[in-house]
A and B are shown apart, each in its own frame.
Chain A
Amino acid sequence: MTIENASRSKTDTKEDIVETNKNYDFQLPIICDVDTLRMLIRKDGVRVVDVRKTEEYRQEHIPSAVSLPLAQLLEKDIPTAIMDILQNLGISDKMPVVIYDNTFGALAARVAWSFQYVGHPNTALLEMTFSQWKNLGLETETKINSFPMKTHSLTINHSIHADASYVEAAKEHPNKILIDSRERLNFLTEHIPKAKNIPYTMLGSNGSILRSPEEIKRYIENRGIPVDAEIITYCGSVGTLSGLTYYALKLAGIENVRLYSKSFREWKSLGKPKEEFKDANYWDLSAD
């Protein structure tokens, strides 16, 4: 295994562009463990992306991390803009990218999915949140990092994305299954017709943003979802919770997963049909 050194030169020269054509031959798994990330950081062979708020990043972050608050990505959530972000963060086509947040992995997942959507093939989620990293006493720094721009190609990965009309058409296909990642009470109140509920709260476990693949696979099988089904995940507003579900399903070995990134907020604003259940007063049970 060899890992290319990423250039830290401030000058944006032809040399950098040449470097983008070099091969990073370390292919990250879906979840990057702490030891692997630390090894990659030592070898300067990874771009670490912190998607928390700018202030949080400024206070402290994982060594060598760059800042990309999720809000910045969502501001202009179109493929060319995301490609620009990759380039500005100095991420070339195959460079390993490890993303973390402090929101149980959901924000990191949404960013990772966007990178994958525009064609970045080597993205992973850090196995834990920043708080957990800190609790383990692992190294952090306060230095604001920036790297020379790189070029990144744009190859839209249509097979991992769903829009409202795709979701609507899916209900005619028995092998296309919708999964709602919101909490149980939100789901019970209203959801897209025929959706099944796997609340994001089921996915994590102590110390890790995702449970073991075996557990997640069992939850899916228990719900009678075949592993060869196509699954479309959605959540309440911008595809964060369902982004995490996207990766949970991939981790569990489901090949064909799509994210409805604009999720239930768009669905409702378009006036699409909903399933509602009004015969119980669920909310009164949630201790307030």
Chain B
Amino acid sequence: MADYNVNTTGNTGPIQKGVSRPKPNPKWGREEESEMFAQNVKHFRQKKLSDDDFRRFRLQHGAYGSRLQMNYSMIRIKVPSGEVNPEQLEKIASLSEAFSIGSAHVSTRQNIQLHWVQLEDVSEVMTGLVEAGLTTREACGNTVRNVMCSHFAGVCPDEKFDATPYAKAIARFFIRNPMCQNLPRKFKINFACCDNHGLARIADIGLIPEIKDEKRGFKIYLGGGLGAASFIGHLVEDFTPESKLLPTCMATIRLFDRHGNRENMARNRMRYLVHEVGWDKFQRLVFKERSIVEMTTANYTSKLFDVKAEEETRPLPKAVNPKMVKLPMLNERVTLESPAYERWLHSNVVPQKQDGYFTAFVTLAAGDITANQLRILAGAIREFSAEGTARNTPQQNLAIRYIRAVDLPDFYNRLGSIGLANPGALTIASAVGCSGTTSCNLAITNSHRLAKEVEYKFLELGLDTDDSLRDSTIKISGCPNSCGQHEIATIGFFGGASRIGPTMAPTYTMLFGGSAGEQSELGKAIMRVPAKRVIDTIRKIIEIYKQERSDSETLNQWINKIVRGEGTGSVRNIENMKASLTPLMQLLPVEKDPEVYSDYGNDARFSAKTARGECAA
């Protein structure tokens, strides 16, 4: 097949992958911060630094305490806008091998986490990260956390413009900024690419690119967020011009800093402030504060917000020769019997707005990836992605963009060689799970393992090939806090402990009908499900859906209808649904079936053990 590579100058050439030169080192990290960390660990061990002071310092620098073992840390590597280059992936691989557990973990907020690092080695990891231009600074603690950006930004067919440079510029402006070193609580900023993709309405500040009168700007949402109590963000105004982007963000953070609740840790996120003050009043406060910011911010300060500096300077391909044949399989049906490659194409590959280029998703089970996989993947990104970088996704997968159609089979084979060619990334099979009892102090259940079990089972059953399930999502958290983002899932779960008869058992509260995007909805709690019955329960729901659905209705649409009480068959509403599922919740006594009373990944008798959370300090 003839194939052409078109660069921005329009020259066509013979077969070349058209891969751009590597990106410059983004320099998010600073070496002196790792030295200071090493110094402070020593001072802490010598008791020259109090527990509280040290914890605050530690979190400010991205090292989170590990589950009931404070001598170990989870290191949260910030990946602003989710963009991570091959050198960084290789560095993370070697650091995870040397100092962590030989694998890395993609979080739901585009961080990459290394678990069980000895406190004494954290500075060594930081030093390595700085070499690769990465940082852990303000990845935890009461600061502006990693600034997210939709992984489709720049390639999304529906986007008004690429939000990536704005996300990075905002991240650059607020990191180490004195105005957000001691907020009442953490603060999250999410950029979307379009109305459908991204998590704009579940962040403190969520932004969707918009164009009005040929001018760039954003739809900005404030006061959203998931947690023990969740809220959907409110729209500030129909259109916020680009020039008011920074003042709006600064004004919001200043209001939060001044009025946020510093007393009650359970209610100190900004969404509670917005809720208590009331949106109308908060909105007026934002406008007022924004005029003050605009009038008083020094020119020097405003210039520190530099979108231009974050823009892509390399010529990226616009499109390949339009005559080139498009991928035939993307929109066709596949089945469990289809060749593995076709199944993968169907559920892991999407076309970009750049004709002939595709984004391929690497399915990671609950976000886990080994050092060796990272290394081979880094090589594949260099070889096959014309932009030469990857983006991590809130679904805990990796998106490799700018792959030419003609290269997809080779790319697939490369992934296959390291066990990363599983299908299902963009389907119900790609379950999200926070780290749960594998490492988190707050976790009650092993949501991480459960998410993996769901994924393995669903792929085995071929649910990734069922297009009626494709727009449904499963998201699992190990406690009511929403790191697993269970409230925006079609079917979400959060972990707890229940007494069943005389025995404690791990259970999950199941929620229906959550969604992300601009039309975000929070899921509604349905019922408690024993951990070991979660998979059977989801399968039962699918079975009922198949009996009840009207023609082309997807599972997601049907579940939303049930939540609204608008079902048309024998299961009309949540109450009917509960009744149909109740038989599944019946457990034999513990003596007869001890296994259902234990949690995934642990044969020992279940007990709910938690310690102080470190989200705030």
Contacts of A283 in B (CB 8 A): 601
Q: How far is the CA of A191 from the CA of B557 in the complex (A)?
A: 52
Q: How far is the CA of A282 from the CA of B94 in the complex (A)?
A: 20
- Distance between B533 CB and nearest chain A CB, rounded to angstroms: 19
Identify which of A91-99, A147-155, A252-260, A273-281 touches chain B.
A273-281
Count, chain A residues at interface, CB 8 A = 26
Contacts of B438 in A (CB 8 A): 280-282, 284-285
A123 within 8 A of B: no
Contact A280–B67 (Cβ < 8 Å): yes
Contacts of B66 in A (CB 8 A): 280
A202 within 8 A of B: yes
Contact A287–B600 (Cβ < 8 Å): no
Contact B41–A285 (Cβ < 8 Å): no
Residues of B56-100 contacting chain A, CB below 8 A: 66-69, 72, 94, 97-100
Contact B41–A222 (Cβ < 8 Å): yes
Residues of B98-128 contacting chain A, CB below 8 A: 98-103, 105, 115-116, 118, 120-121, 123-124
B271 within 8 A of A: no
B368 within 8 A of A: yes
Contacts of A277 in B (CB 8 A): 68-69
Instruction: Convert B361-405 into 0s and 1s, putting 1 for each residue whose CB lies closer than 8 angstroms to a CB of A.
Output: 000110011100100000000000000000000000000000000
Q: How far is the CA of A286 from the CA of B102 in the complex (A)?
A: 7
Residues of A149-200 contacting chain B, CB below 8 A: 183-185, 188, 197, 199
Query: Which residue of B42, B72, B364, B446 is within 8 Å of A284 (Cβ)?
Result: B446
Q: How far is the CA of A283 from the CA of B604 in the complex (A)?
A: 14
Instruction: Convert B582-613 into 0s and 1s, putting 1 for each residue whose CB lies closer than 8 angstroms to a CB of A.
Output: 00000000000000000111101000010000
- Distance between A191 CB and nearest chain B CB, rounded to angstroms: 13
Query: Which residue of B124, B373, B439, B609 is within 8 Å of A285 (Cβ)?
Result: B439
Inter-chain contact total with CB atoms closer than 8 Å? 96
Interface-centre pick from B67, B69, B101 (highest chain A CB count, 10 A):
B101
Give the dominant DSSP class at B's interface: mixed
Residue on A nearest B99 in the bound complex, by CB: A202
Contact A281–B116 (Cβ < 8 Å): no
Contact A201–B102 (Cβ < 8 Å): yes
Contacts of A288 in B (CB 8 A): 368
Contact B365–A287 (Cβ < 8 Å): yes
Contact B368–A287 (Cβ < 8 Å): yes
Given contacts A201-B97, A219-B124, A284-B449, contact A279 B102 (CB under 8 A): no
Contacts of B38 in A (CB 8 A): 222
Interface-centre pick from A218, A224, A284, A288 (highest chain B CB count, 10 A):
A284
Contacts of A219 in B (CB 8 A): 120-121, 124
Contact B98–A202 (Cβ < 8 Å): yes
A43 within 8 A of B: no
Q: How far is the CA of A14 from the CA of B78 in the complex (A)?
A: 70
Given contacts A279-B67, A280-B439, contact A185 B101 (CB under 8 A): yes
Contact B102–A280 (Cβ < 8 Å): no
Query: Which residue of B67, B120, B365, B449 is within 8 Å of A223 (Cβ)?
Result: B120
Query: Which residue of B45, B103, B116 is within 8 Å of A188 (Cβ)?
Result: B116
Residue on A nearest B118 in the bound complex, by CB: A197
Contacts of B102 in A (CB 8 A): 183, 201, 286
Contact A281–B115 (Cβ < 8 Å): no
Query: Which residue of B99, B124, B373 is within 8 Å of A287 (Cβ)?
Result: B373
Contact A201–B98 (Cβ < 8 Å): yes
Residues of B119-146 contacting chain A, CB below 8 A: 120-121, 123-124
- Distance between A70 CB and nearest chain B CB, rounded to angstroms: 23
Contact B446–A281 (Cβ < 8 Å): yes
Contacts of B604 in A (CB 8 A): 278
- Distance between B57 CB and nearest chain A CB, rounded to angstroms: 17
Contact A282–B448 (Cβ < 8 Å): no
Contact A284–B600 (Cβ < 8 Å): yes
Instruction: Convert A197-232 into 0s and 1s, putting 1 for each residue whose CB lies closer than 8 angstroms to a CB of B.
Output: 101011000100000000000110011100000000
Residue on A nearest B68 in the bound complex, by CB: A279
Contacts of B240 in A (CB 8 A): none
- Distance between A281 CB and nearest chain B CB, rounded to angstroms: 4
Q: How far is the CA of A184 from the CA of B113 in the complex (A)?
A: 16
Contacts of B116 in A (CB 8 A): 184-185, 188, 282, 285
B452 within 8 A of A: yes
Q: How far is the CA of A222 from the CA of B46 in the complex (A)?
A: 12
Contacts of A280 in B (CB 8 A): 66-69, 437-439
- Distance between B89 CB and nearest chain A CB, rounded to angstroms: 14
Contacts of B601 in A (CB 8 A): 281, 283-284
Query: Which residue of B94, B100, B105, B602 is within 8 Å of A281 (Cβ)?
Result: B602
B473 within 8 A of A: no
- Distance between B63 CB and nearest chain A CB, rounded to angstroms: 14
Contact A285–B446 (Cβ < 8 Å): no
Interface-centre pick from B100, B120, B604 (highest chain A CB count, 10 A):
B120
Given contacts A202-B98, A202-B99, A223-B120, contact A285 B67 (CB under 8 A): no
Residues of B273-289 contacting chain A, CB below 8 A: none
Contact A282–B602 (Cβ < 8 Å): no
Contact B435–A279 (Cβ < 8 Å): no
Query: Which residue of A201, A223, A285 is within 8 Å of B105 (Cβ)?
Result: A285
Residue on B nearest A185 in the bound complex, by CB: B101
- Distance between B298 CB and nearest chain A CB, rounded to angstroms: 42
Q: How far is the CA of A279 from the CA of B449 in the complex (A)?
A: 15
- Distance between B356 CB and nearest chain A CB, rounded to angstroms: 33
Query: Which residue of A185, A224, A281 is within 8 Å of B449 (Cβ)?
Result: A281
Contact A183–B124 (Cβ < 8 Å): no
Contact B103–A285 (Cβ < 8 Å): yes
Residue on B nearest A277 in the bound complex, by CB: B69
Residue on B nearest A225 in the bound complex, by CB: B120
Contacts of A206 in B (CB 8 A): 94
Interface-centre pick from A185, A218, A224, A282 (highest chain B CB count, 10 A):
A282
Residues of B30-50 contacting chain A, CB below 8 A: 38, 41-42, 45
Contact A286–B98 (Cβ < 8 Å): no
- Can you list 27 residue pairs at the A/B interface with Cβ under 8 Å? A183-B102, A184-B118, A185-B101, A188-B69, A188-B72, A188-B116, A197-B118, A201-B102, A202-B98, A218-B124, A219-B121, A222-B38, A277-B68, A277-B69, A280-B67, A280-B69, A281-B601, A281-B602, A283-B601, A284-B452, A284-B601, A285-B101, A285-B105, A287-B103, A287-B364, A287-B368, A287-B369
- Contacts A279-B69, A281-B601, A287-B364 known; 19 new A-B pairs at CB < 8 A: A185-B101, A188-B116, A197-B118, A201-B97, A201-B102, A218-B124, A224-B120, A281-B436, A282-B101, A282-B438, A282-B439, A283-B601, A284-B600, A285-B103, A285-B115, A285-B439, A286-B368, A287-B103, A287-B368
Q: A-contacting residues of B (Cβ < 8 Å)?
A: 38, 41-42, 45, 66-69, 72, 94, 97-103, 105, 115-116, 118, 120-121, 123-124, 364-365, 368-370, 373, 435-439, 446, 448-449, 452, 599-602, 604, 609
